[in-house]
Amino acid sequence: MSGTSGDTNTKLTFRRYRDGDEEHLPWQEEIFDAGHSHKCPVYVQSAPPCQASCPCGEDIRGYLNVMRGIEKPPAGVPAAEYAFRRLTEANPFPSVMGRVCPAPCESGCNRNQVEDYVGINSVEHFLGEYAIEHNLKFVKPTASTGKKVAIIGGGPAGLSCAYQLALLGHSCTIFDEHEQLGGMMRYGIPGFRTPREVLDAEIQRILDLGIEVRLKTRIGRDISMEQIGKDYDAVFMGLGAQSGRPLPAPGADAPNCVTATAFLRAFNDGRLRHVGKRVVVVGGGDTSIDVATVARRLGHITQAHEKDRPEYVIQGRVGHDVAEISAKQGAEVILTSLFPIDQMQANRHEIEQALAEGIEIRCGITPVEVVRDTSGRATALRLAECEASFKNGRLEIKVKPGTERDIEADLIVSAIGQAVDFTGLESFDNGKGMISADRNYQVSGKQGVFVGGDVIRPHLLTSAIGQGWIAADGIDRYLRGEPLDKRPKIDAHSFDLTRKMIEKGLPLEAAPHTSIWGTDSGNVAIHNYENRSQKYVIPHDELFLGHFPFAPRNKRKVITLTKEQALGNFQERLESLSDPEVVAEAKRCMSCGQCFECDNCVVYCPQKAVFKVSKAKSTTGRYVDTDYTKCIGCHICHDVCPSGYIQMGLGE
């Protein structure tokens, strides 16, 4: 999980041998004969765990290698711009995602085995800011296919799909029922986490590809799905799940017991400007943290009239118009969770910030009843201690009898999940409040209709972006009349050696195999090269970790507020790294599964069989080669390869 970790070690933690080790490495099992081996170096490009963990399939290793100077951009293109373009092949929202993505890529990073993960999210944040500052645009295709695609929903999934389709030359129209595009990025995440000028800039960059937008238009109400089917060649449904789930407890229909999505929508619309004195949020995920921190900032006013109660604003009846001229006071905010704090789904960094702002988090409790007064309004939330666990994918909650207690509340917010509004589109509901789809995200039984985002299963924004990309690829093949094949095991963008050779003007022989790889005599790539990036993730134990010295992570500055400072403070808390810091952070990347030109194999080869490719023929991924007439199969090059790029295999 991304965020501020505890104090990192101040020295290298990796050691090949530990105190007390007595057994040597089993080299006898690798070398078959004393003088030679039939196994010689082969060059295998594997997927790094960061890319395999990225829901939107970014070429993370690629843009880090660009920023560190290993991969050279085409002539005249700045490294940061080239890195941005490599990143946005998968994700058109680097500045937004660099701020709010919980970064599962960092949890998977092999550098965690040395000391601390690479700050991938920080580099992404920097590249997004660079692109906005330098007004970088996406390149429009030179020709149109003449095909039209309807995009239902202008959230992260819909915008991602439209972006990818526009790059392929298809004409796209986005239909959205809101006044502005962005979906949960705009209406679900507060502006102090996603500054609106940043979100607007990244959305506009997509629209500049020629995408048409029709706002305040709901499919199923303003336009029928049948009409959409007649007017367009394919459809993408990115409806989102912007309806909240109420608390499953008696009394939860009290007017001041609201859902998190409704709360955040009212805030992000600018209508909700103060809350009650005592706010209780039920959840444990990122949305519950957002609600709690917004409530802390809004505070309450002592002279609120009946019509100014927050529930009326959240329900859309009125809007606050007196908050700016009334003295605000802090709100007491309590967040409850089924699970212990170290098992909460929320981003660890956001939890730490919430605690610093004085938000109380109570764990291991579940709501059992909403206590109401004679008017029907909630006055408290009754909770009980519980044990929660997942069994067979289902949440089981065991309440401990006799542990009930009340927490007084003026406003109760349920942040326990989201739901999809299928009004007018009931035929797509799979009976579970979602839409079913295959691996290409084509809707089951609906040819030419694809889907992505929370309507499949509420998850991360970056998951929705990735689903939009995969669906766009499926739509493109559908429109071209091509079969929708199985998706690769590791569905991510990756380094393309063929493209790199073309960029440098190197000649390419016709590839003898469907997946580019070389032989000991061919010039397709390098001798015995194979790209396994779509099927194999390289683990840390295949790397020579001893190559990497301790290098502390370059951390972004985070503005931490106190309880008093948070009131009325809607400024962004996260600052981008500087250019030198980003380069230093990129250099911490171990380039797992791809050569980063360390020269270890050349230096340590006793037979001088491994050699550098001549500059005229070399490029990234084609830096060294092997003279098999000299190789004796001693495996030393493999043992000292920090990235695991050199494997031992049978030469051809």
Q: What is the pLDDT of residues 392-433, one digit of tens each?
A: 878 899 999 999 999 999 999 999 999 999 999 999 999 999
How far apart are alpha carbons 541 and 470 in whole angstroms? Answer: 31
- Locate 376 and state its tokens: 């029907």
pLDDT exceeds 60 at position 369: yes
pLDDT exceeds 90 at position 56: yes
Cα 612 to chain centroid distance, Å, stands at 37
Return the pLDDT at 581: 98
Side chain identity at 121, as an amino acid letter? N
How far apart are alpha carbons 630 and 606 in whole angstroms? Answer: 10
Task: Report the run of H or E that residue 464 belongs to, with start and end.
Answer: helix 461-479
Q: How sure is the predictor about 502, in pLDDT bands with cuts at 50, 70 and 90?
A: confident
Return the pLDDT at 44: 93
Look at the block and give the residue holding tokens 């938000």. 359
pLDDT exceeds 80 at position 154: yes
What confidence tens digit (pLDDT) does each residue in 296-316 have? 999 988 776 777 788 888 887
- Do 357 and 296 meet the contact criterion of CB atoms below 8 Å apart? yes
Beta-bridge mates of residue 386: 399
Return the pLDDT at 3: 40
Average pLDDT over every residue of 349-362: 95
- Locate 301 and state its tokens: 């006013």
Side chain identity at 124, as an amino acid letter? E
Higher pLDDT, 461 or 523: 461
Q: Which domains does the chain have, with CATH numbers?
A: 28-47+494-548+588-652 (no CATH), 148-241+420-479 (3.50.50.60), 246-419 (3.50.50.60)
Q: How sure is the predictor about 184, in pLDDT bands with cuts at 50, 70 and 90?
A: very high
3-state SS assignment for residue 152:
strand
What confidence tens digit (pLDDT) does each residue in 219-245 have? 999 999 999 999 999 999 999 888 899
Look at the block and give the residue holding tokens 């009980």. 384
- Locate 3 and state its tokens: 């965020």
Q: How sure is the predictor about 384, in pLDDT bands with cuts at 50, 70 and 90?
A: very high
pLDDT exceeds 60 at position 35: no
pTM: 0.90
Question: Strands, DSSP E only, in 405-522?
Answer: 405-408, 411-414, 418-419, 449-451
Look at the block and give the residue holding tokens 């979100």. 199
Return the pLDDT at 523: 62
pLDDT exceeds 80 at position 324: no
Beta-bridge mates of residue 44: 530
pLDDT exceeds 50 at position 32: no
pLDDT exceeds 60 at position 446: yes
pLDDT exceeds 90 at position 13: no
Q: How sure is the predictor about 519, in pLDDT bands with cuts at 50, 70 and 90?
A: low
Higher pLDDT, 483 or 517: 483
- Do 479 and 150 meet the contact criterion of CB atoms below 8 Å apart? no
Average pLDDT over every residue of 464-480: 97
Return the pLDDT at 512: 47
Return the pLDDT at 650: 66
The rounded percent of the chain whose pLDDT value lies above 70 is 89
What confidence tens digit (pLDDT) does each residue in 231-283 have? 999 999 999 888 899 999 999 999 999 999 999 999 999 899 899 899 999 99
pLDDT exceeds 90 at position 526: no
pLDDT exceeds 80 at position 22: no
Q: Could you tell me if residue 647 is left (phi over 0), alpha (psi between -120 and 50 degrees) or otherwise beta?
A: beta
What angle do the packed helices 60-68 and 579-586 form, to 10 degrees? 120
- Locate 521 and state its tokens: 């005599």
Beta-bridge mates of residue 517: 530
User: In angstroms, how far apart are the furthest CA atoms of the chain?
Assistant: 92
pLDDT exceeds 90 at position 517: no
